[in-house]
Chain A
Amino acid sequence: MTSLLFNPVYGVIAIPIIAAALLAALPGYRLTAQLNVLASLLTFVFALFLFFVGRAAPSPYLLIDDLNIVFIVLNTFVGFTAATFSASYIGHEIETGRLTPVNVRFYHSMYQIMMFGMNLALVSNNIGLMWVAIELATLTTVLMVGIYRTHEALEAAWKYFILGSVGIALALFGTILVYVAAQPVLGEGEMAMIWTNLVAHASEFDASMLNLAFVFLLLGYGTKVGLAPLHAWLPDAHAEGPTPISAVLSGLLLNVALYAVLRFKMLMAAHPEALAPGPLMITMGLLSLIFASFMLYRRRDIKRLFAYSSIEHMGIIVFAFGMGGPLANFAGLLHMVMHSLTKSAIFYSVGHVAQIKGTQRIADIRGLTQSHPVLGWGLAIGVLAIAGMPPFGLFMSEFLIVTTTFAKSPILALLLVFGILVAFGALLMRLSGFIFGEPTGAVKPAEASFVPLYTHMALVLMAGIYLPGPMVVWFQSVARLLG
């Protein structure tokens, strides 16, 4: 079953790193933008192969299982569409002189290194390697957030860097604690850092040590997920960086951090006496959801608005995984995929809108459906979907989460519904402003690529109406795996 001659995992990791080297060396932004798209496409194709080619047995460093295939395919797919969007976005930035060709060369190279970091984090079987990979992805995004070198961009990057480093430091401490817990059982050295080993022997570890480790890991990686008390970096980083990076941050990097949390949650679940991670995750999730929902009302900057919406949705997802059980896990997983697709689509349209209008102020963006029908309606569909309107996929996943929560704990479900409704109100209020009324500001036609935007929305719509059978089976098996 295993064909070691062709292991697509190597492609998923190697292509971005080779591309990063090439992109750093090649001049000319048109060529490099195309190459960036091509590399991302190739990575995506290799990720798809993971479904079909037999899996190699877990090695000390690499692991492929049902759970991370979902993440990898999603990651590389959004990475590819974001690269397509980025190609048209960057062209405009060069014309208006906000970025120089040297900046762009750096940007493309960093983009691929970030993809490398995220893919590596997703396939790694070694908790130390996973930590290094997430750290790498974070550092590259810090550099990209600060790329405009304006006051605001520098502040955002600095804040992101400081908070991200604190988060990553806490996560490393948690990783060390896991090793200390595992070392008496698995012996010294590498064996005690390999995730598959850890899970297999988890029940023999010292429970209190694992508990403490999980608290640090949840706080550390939770900072990256953007969970509520530790979210301060997220809105700034989204608002001040280039929009393709906002899309990738919201759609992918948050997921990668979430993936790390889930891996350690599985480790905790494998130990009968360890603390149940559920209540912790439920609390943080609800807190993020309700806090972010209220914050949505006072936003004046369009990218910041959707950044808070990302915090809100990550809250919902973490809540769902905290509830646990096959159905809530299924819903959480579905919600995560739908949120990634929808939120990145929204950022694709917001990026073009901000370029056309020359501003990110919500008050200056009016009447989009009149001046730019294709873009305006795309944004409208995206916002409706993210607010949780049927028939989109997010409605279905939110509905599933709410109903399973009602069955287990009505009070929590009420809080959840309350948060979702508050956010719903805020988003619809903003939406009518964007879409209707007299167009303001520049009305020049958009030179935009709408393919990524509408592809994502079509997928989200399709998932809301009909989920293909094999996908349901796949998600169910992953949900069981998550416990």
Chain B
Amino acid sequence: MDRLAFDMAHLLAGGLVLVSFMMIYQDRLYALLNVFALHAVVLSMSVAWQAWIQDAPHLYITAGIALVFKALIIPGALHRIIQRLGIHREVENVVGVGPTMLAGMGLVSLSIVLMLRLTEVADAFAREDLAFSLSVLLLGLLMMITRRNAVSQVVGFMSLENGLILAATGAKGMPLVVEISVAFSVLIAFIVIGVFLFRIRERFDSVDISALDDFRGDKK
């Protein structure tokens, strides 16, 4: 039973890393949102599994939040934003799938080496879980760097937060304060971003950040 619990947790955490990779090469916004929803579903399954094996019922709340907010409400809302802005046909200029995937693999191996080497004392699960969550976090960062479109940057940021939740739930008995705060931060982030997207659209009719880049640096 214990063995099964361990393997299952691994499977789900590894699945999250896999879905992160899938997000990296999506070049259509709708497809990206769908994969992000999948990411959130895998996360909520992973959190629910942790809740069960750690016998920590409060984690079910976190799982529920991941499922409802991140897998349903947020992708839905972003879907509408994309529609309203009329950018659903746009193919994004990603830095190129090949180099990005290679960079992603590099980051994953980096985090595994880092975590497994450094943390020999911590119990096996916590350590490997941290390696997975660091991978998800770094892949989210990578996505934020390689995308120019505001919506996909937001998605990158949320996948990064998913990595954090994976880490927080993997750490046994981490106080509830933090979990709720993480869920809340995502909510707040969404509100803020929503406000921003609305304003950006209002001003420029575009959510392409490169349109804003003209104003970088000092005014001549």
Contacts and interface: CB of A to CB of B under 8 A. Distances in A.
A300 interface: yes
Given A154-B200, A301-B219, A209 B118 contact: yes
Given A169-B161, A173-B164, A155 B218 contact: no
B134 A173 contact: yes
B181 A131 contact: yes
A128 B181 contact: yes
Interface stretch (B17-25, B28-36, B78-86, B208-216): B208-216
A142 interface: yes
B189 interface: yes
B215 A155 contact: yes
B220 interface: yes
Contacts of B185: 132, 135, 168
Contacts of A200: none
A189 B160 CA distance: 24
Interface string A129-156: 1011001000100110010010110110
A343 B163 CA distance: 38
B90 to A, nearest CB: 19
Given A158-B196, A173-B137, A173-B167, A206 B178 contact: no
B196 A157 contact: yes
Given A183-B171, A206-B122, A299 B218 contact: yes
23 contacts: A128-B181, A131-B181, A132-B177, A146-B196, A149-B203, A155-B215, A155-B216, A158-B196, A169-B161, A173-B137, A176-B167, A176-B171, A177-B130, A181-B122, A189-B175, A190-B175, A192-B173, A193-B177, A206-B119, A208-B121, A209-B121, A212-B118, A300-B218
A158 B209 contact: yes
Interface residues of B, number: 53
B218 A169 contact: no
B32 to A, nearest CB: 17
B118 A151 contact: no
A184 interface: yes
Interface string A437-464: 0000000000000000000000000000
A166 B160 contact: yes
A410 B74 CA distance: 55
Nearest to A151: B215
Contacts of A299: 218
B141 interface: yes
B54 to A, nearest CB: 9
Interface string A350-378: 00000000000100000000000000000
Given A183-B171, A361-B219, A154 B199 contact: yes
A180 B130 contact: yes
A142 B192 contact: yes
A439 B112 CA distance: 62
B56 to A, nearest CB: 9
Contacts of B199: 146, 149, 154
Given A135-B185, A183-B173, A143 B141 contact: no
A361 B218 CA distance: 9
Interface of B: 114-115, 117-123, 126, 130, 133-134, 137, 141, 144, 150, 153, 157, 160-161, 163-164, 167-168, 171-175, 177-178, 181-182, 185, 188-189, 192-193, 195-196, 199-200, 203-204, 209, 212-213, 215-216, 218-220
Nearest to A152: B215
Given A151-B203, A168-B185, 7 more contacts: A139-B188, A176-B167, A176-B178, A183-B171, A183-B172, A208-B120, A209-B121
Interface string A106-135: 000000000000000000001011011001
A343 B209 CA distance: 31
A184 B144 CA distance: 35
A212 B117 CA distance: 11
Contact of B175 (A128, A152, A162, A304): A128
Interface residues of A, number: 51
Nearest to A143: B192
Contacts of B171: 176, 179-180, 183
B119 A212 contact: yes
Given A139-B188, A158-B212, A166 B173 contact: no
A408 interface: no
B62 to A, nearest CB: 14
A193 B168 CA distance: 13
A154 B181 contact: no
Nearest to A170: B137
B219 A169 contact: no
A209 B153 CA distance: 30
B208 to A, nearest CB: 12
A179 B177 CA distance: 13
A298 to B, nearest CB: 7
Interface in A294-326: 298-301, 304
A304 B219 CA distance: 10
Query: What are the 8 tightest A-B residue pairs by CB atom distance, in nearest-first order?
Result: A188-B173, A208-B118, A206-B121, A155-B212, A300-B218, A128-B178, A132-B181, A190-B175
Contacts of A158: 150, 196, 200, 209, 212
A151 to B, nearest CB: 6
Contacts of B218: 298-301, 304
A139 B175 contact: no
Nearest to B182: A172
B196 A165 contact: no
A209 B119 contact: yes
Of A175, A180, A300, the most chain B CB neighbours within 10 A belong to A180
B114 A212 contact: yes
A149 B196 CA distance: 10
